[in-house]
């Protein structure tokens, strides 16, 4: 499969590069743009970004492996991040994650991100999402769901199933 970046995305990327006096600084912003478009950052994408910025692929690869938000494999269409840090834990985020896992047939004892076999959902525990006053907090793709109850969790999942 050949990797190709559509012209509109490349124009956006070229504009982002102009924000920095040193091209390398644009790395994270380029990776975000790529991931938003393709859903993940593939090997080919890493090489493409490196070439674009005049860097070695390893310079980009080490960012993709360091920064938790970047992923090298496609994830579920609905990406559910449950906050596990203290304020959310006190508000029951552990039970909430179990609830998601159980309803989606995932193993709640497993650590790390898990994706359903149909590719519809990925569930993972993440650290503080900076909205602790509204615990428990769940990020669903780009949106934040706050004071999440079991029934709201069910709604999130039925919306995701329809996607």
Partner 1 sequence: MASEFRLILKHADQPGYTPDMECYMRHGGYEQLKKAFATPARDLADGKKQSPQEVVRDEVLKSGLRGRGGAGFSAGLKWSFVDRKSGKPIYLICNADESEPGTFKDRQIIHKDPHQLIEGMIISCWANDVKLAYIYIRGEMPHGAKLLNKALAEARAKNFLGKNILGTGYDLEIHVHRGAGAYICGEETGLIESLEGKRAYPRIKPPYFPAVLGLYMCPTIVNNVETLCHVKHIVAMGASEYAKLGTPNNTGTRIVSLSGDVKRPGYYEIEVGKATLGEIINDPAFGGGLRDGRKLKAIIPGGSSSKVLKAGEVFKLKRKGADGQMTAVDVPLLDLPYDFDSLQQAGTMSGSSAIIVIDDSRDIVDCLANLSEFYAHES
Which residues in this chain contact ligand FES in the complex, by CB under 6 A? 83, 85-88, 128-132, 135, 137
What is the per-residue DSSP string for the chain? ------HHHHHHHHHHHTT-SSGGGGHHHHHHHHHHHHSS--HHHHHHHHHHHT--HHHHHHHHHHSTT--SS---SEEEEEE-SHHHHHTTHHHHHHHHHHHTT--TTS-S-EE-TTSSEEEEEES--S-GGG-S-EEETTEEE-S--HHHHHHHHHHHHH-
Site residues for partner 1, window 139-158 (CB under 8 A)? Answer: 139, 142-143
Question: CB of residue 76 vs partner 1: minimum separation in angstroms?
Answer: 18
User: Which residues neighbour 6 within 8 Å (Cβ) at sequence distance 6 or greater?
Assistant: 37
- The site string for partner 1 over 48-87 (x = CB under 8 A, - otherwise) reads -----x-----x--xx--xxxxx----------x--xxxx
Pick one of 128, 140, 152, 161: the residue that binds partner 1 (CB under 8 A): 128
Task: Residue 116: name its binding partner from ligand FES, partner 1, none (Cβ under 5 to 8 Å by kind).
Answer: none
Q: Which residue has the tokens 């950052």?
A: 41
> Is the Cβ of residue 29 or residue 161 nearer to partner 1 in the bound state?
29
Task: Work out whether 12 is an interface residue with partner 1 (CB under 8 A).
Answer: no
Task: Give the distance, in angstroms, between the CA of residue 2 and the centroid of all CA atoms in the same chain.
Answer: 24
Task: Work out whether 130 is an interface residue with partner 1 (CB under 8 A).
Answer: yes
> Is the Cβ of residue 98 or residue 131 nearer to ligand FES in the bound state?
131
Residues that bind partner 1 (CB under 8 A): 19-22, 24-29, 31-32, 53, 59, 62-63, 66-70, 81, 84-87, 89-90, 126-135, 139, 142-143
């Amino acid at each position: 499969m050949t990797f190709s970046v559509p012209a509109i995305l490349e124009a956006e990327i070229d504009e982002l590069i102009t924000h920095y006096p040193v091209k390398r600084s644009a790395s994270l912003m380029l990776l975000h743009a790529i991931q938003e478009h393709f859903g993940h950052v593939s090997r080919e994408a890493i090489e493409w970004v490196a070439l674009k910025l005049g860097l070695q692929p390893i310079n980009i690869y080490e960012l993709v492996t360091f920064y938790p938000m970047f992923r090298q494999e496609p994830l579920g269409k609905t990406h559910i991040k449950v906050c596990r840090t203290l304020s959310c834990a006190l508000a029951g985020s552990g039970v909430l994650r179990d609830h998601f896992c159980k309803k989606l047939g995932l193993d709640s004892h497993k650590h790390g991100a898990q994706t359903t076999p149909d590719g519809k959902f990925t569930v993972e525990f993440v650290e503080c999402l900076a909205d602790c006053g509204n615990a428990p907090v769940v990020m669903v793709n780009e949106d934040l769901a706050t004071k999440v109850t079991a029934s709201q969790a069910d709604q999130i999942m039925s919306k995701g199933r329809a996607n």
